[in-house]
Amino acid sequence: MAYQLPPLPYPYDALEPYIDAETMRLHHDKHHQAYIDAVNKAIEPYPQFANIIIEDLLRHLNDVPEEIRTTVRNNGGGHANHQFFWKVIGPPNGGRPAGALAESITRDFGSFDAFQSQFTDAATKHFGSGWAFLVVDPPTKKLEIMTTPNQDSVLLHGKPGLLACDVWEHSYYLKYQNRRPEYLKAWWNVVNWPVVSSRYEHFLEGKQQL
C-alpha cells in the first residue's frame, strides 16, 4: 500500500476535556483511514505514484491522470490535511506562540488576540465541511488566514500551512453537536504552538513543509 495511517502521536484521551476520546478514535482510525484507503485504491493502477509522498502528489496534481485526479484531490487531500492536523494539536498546554511566529502574527494581524478572533470568525463562517488554515504567502512572506472546502489542501494554492483546524462535523459532532463556535473555542486549548512555530521557522529557513 502506498500510504499508511500514521499513529496518533498521543493517546486518544490526551485532548480531554476539549476534544473527547471517542471523537479522536473515530476521527483518526475511521475517517483518516477511509481517505487513505480511497487514494490507495485510486493510484493502485499507476505504480509510478507508489513512492511519492502525498504532499508532493498534491503539489503536482495536474500530473495525475485525469480519471483519478478528483479522487486524489479529495482523498489525498484528506490524508495530507489529517497528517498535518494531528501534528499541530496536542495535549492542552495553553500558552501562545513565541519568537518569530509571534512577531509575524503581530505584524500581520495587529495582535495575537486579533488573529485569534479573525481565525475563529473564518472557521465559524465557513459554509459546510472544510478547513481553516494559517498559511504563509511565499512571495510576500505574510501570514494569511484561508479556508478550503471539503478536503482541499493549501498545497493546491502553493501556500505552506502552519496551523490547521478541521471544521468537518465529524471532528466535533459527538461532543458539540451543531455548536461549531463552542468547538472552536475549545480547540484553541489544544493547539501545539511549539510545533506551529517550528513549521514557520522551517519556512523561513527554506525547508519544505509536510
To the question of domain 99-204 being in CATH 3.65.10.10, the answer is: no
Protein fold of 20-88? Helix Hairpins (1.10.287)
Q: What is the arrangement of strands in the sheet containing 161-166, beginning at the earlier edge strand?
A: 142-149, 130-137, 161-166
Q: What's the pLDDT band for 180 if we cut at 50, 70, 90?
A: very high
Asked whether residue 1 carries a pLDDT value surpassing 90, the answer given is no
Residue 207 — very low, low, confident or very high, per pLDDT cuts 50/70/90? Answer: confident
Q: Residues 145, 126: contact at Cβ < 8 Å?
A: no
Confirm whether 20-88 and 99-204 share one CATH topology.
no
Statement: residue 127 has pLDDT above 80: yes
Q: pLDDT value at position 206?
A: 82
**pLDDT number for residue 95:** 83
**What residue ranges do the domains of the chain occupy?**
20-88, 99-204
**Would the CA dihedral through 127, 62, 31, 28 be positive or negative?**
negative
199 vs 204: CA distance, rounded Å: 9
The average confidence (pLDDT) of the chain is 95
Q: Does 210 score more than 70 pLDDT? A: no
- Residue 198 pLDDT level (bands cut at 50, 70, 90): very high
Q: What pLDDT sits at residue 209?
A: 62
φ and ψ of 109, to 5 deg: -120, -10
59 burial level (CB within 10 Å; 0-12, 13-18, 19+)? middle
| Residues near 67 by beta carbon (within 8 Å), at least 6 away in sequence | none
Average pLDDT over residues 125-143: 96
